[in-house]
Amino acid sequence: MALLELREESAGYNGETILHELNLTIVPGERIALVGESGAGKSTLLHLLYNRLGARAALMPQDSALVQALTVFHNVYMGRLHERSVWRNLRNLVLPSRADVDEVRDVLAPLRLQDKIFSNVGQLSGGQYQRTALARALYHPGRVIVADEPVSSVDEHQAREILTTMNGEKETVLLAMHDRALAIEFADRIVGIRDGRIVLDEASNGMRPGDLDDLYRTTDP
């Protein structure tokens, strides 16, 4: 049973078509990396997938998009805003409840963020910041994670940690990545995009970064 199926789909915004005649089927348990030049349409495709998945998926947007004025707890708690009543949300905004704090701390512990639970996210280092964004997605009950460049702003060590956790915690992983080596290492299926079309869709097994060079060949004069 497929999780999601695109048949001859096009997408874009402001009246401009960015993705053309896409065919893509995703089954639960897959770990898919979208690769391609910036501007090729990775983000657009990712958002198309996220919109189709709805509440089944957690999103890690490109710039992490944490709420600067809030603490780590609040940002992570946001992963379940939709499951809770407004009153419970309001209460947790003003005075976090013990039960919810414990829940969030359990998510933060494997990411080594439990000590930072009541720090403002503005004070975090780049890696901690990114891990907080991951924690929010992990706290989201959806079994799918849609992540747009989740490791572009952290060093390789941290990137591996984040990707490993992601793979371990979520059933299905949909990533947009520009780091080809990491994509091949952590995804089991590579979808290559160029000029808004899927030009490659293969298992990552045995693939080498050089195999993806075609996707990046400059065509502009």
Partner 1 sequence: MMSRRDPSPLMRTTTGFLFVGFICLAFADIAVTTGDPWKEFSLLLEGLVTPDFYKTDSLALSLAYTMAFALLGVALANVIGFGLALIFHSRIVRVGCAFVRAIHELFWALIFLQLFGLSPLTGVLAITIPYAGIIAKVYAEILEEADRRPLAAVPVGTGRASTFLFVRLPDAWAHFRTYSMYRLECGLRSSAVLGFIGLPTLGFHLETAFKEGLYSEVSALLILFYLVIATMRVWMKKPLLPFYLIGAVAILPWSIAFSWAHITRFFTEDIIPHPIRAGGENMMTALGDWVSMLLYEQIWPGTIATVQLTMIALVVTGFLTLVFFPLISPLMLGRAARTGGHVFLVVVRSTPEYILAFVLLNLWGPSMLPAIVALSLHNAAIIGHLVGRFTETIQLRLDAVKGMNRYFYEVVPRIYRPMLALLFYRWEIIMRETAILGILGIATLGFYVDSAFADLRFDRALFLILITALLNICVDAISRTVRAKLRLQTSLEER
The contact set with partner 1 (CB under 8 A) reads: 54-55, 57-61, 63, 65-70, 74, 77-84, 86, 89-90, 93, 133, 136-137, 140, 142
By beta-carbon proximity to partner 1, the closer residue of 52 and 178 is: 52
Tokens of 39: 């501007």
By beta-carbon proximity to partner 1, the closer residue of 24 and 133 is: 133
Cβ at position 141, least distance to partner 1 in Å: 8
By beta-carbon proximity to partner 1, the closer residue of 70 and 207 is: 70
Distance of alpha carbon 168 from alpha carbon 113, whole angstroms: 18
Q: For 105-136, b where at least 16 C-beta lie within 10 A, e where not — what string? A: bebbeebebeebbeebbeebeebbbbbbbbbb
Q: Please report which helix (H) or strand (E) contains residue 44, including its range.
A: helix 42-53
- 8 A C-beta contact, residue 68 and residue 121: yes
Cβ at position 46, least distance to partner 1 in Å: 11
By beta-carbon proximity to partner 1, the closer residue of 93 and 109 is: 93
Cβ at position 219, least distance to partner 1 in Å: 31
Cβ at position 196, least distance to partner 1 in Å: 21
By beta-carbon proximity to partner 1, the closer residue of 150 and 192 is: 150
Task: Work out the angle at residue 169's Cα, subtended by the Cα atoms of residues 186 and 134, and round it to the nearest 5 degrees.
Answer: 80
- Categorise residue 14: left if φ over 0, alpha if ψ from -120 to 50, beta otherwise: left
Cβ at position 38, least distance to partner 1 in Å: 18
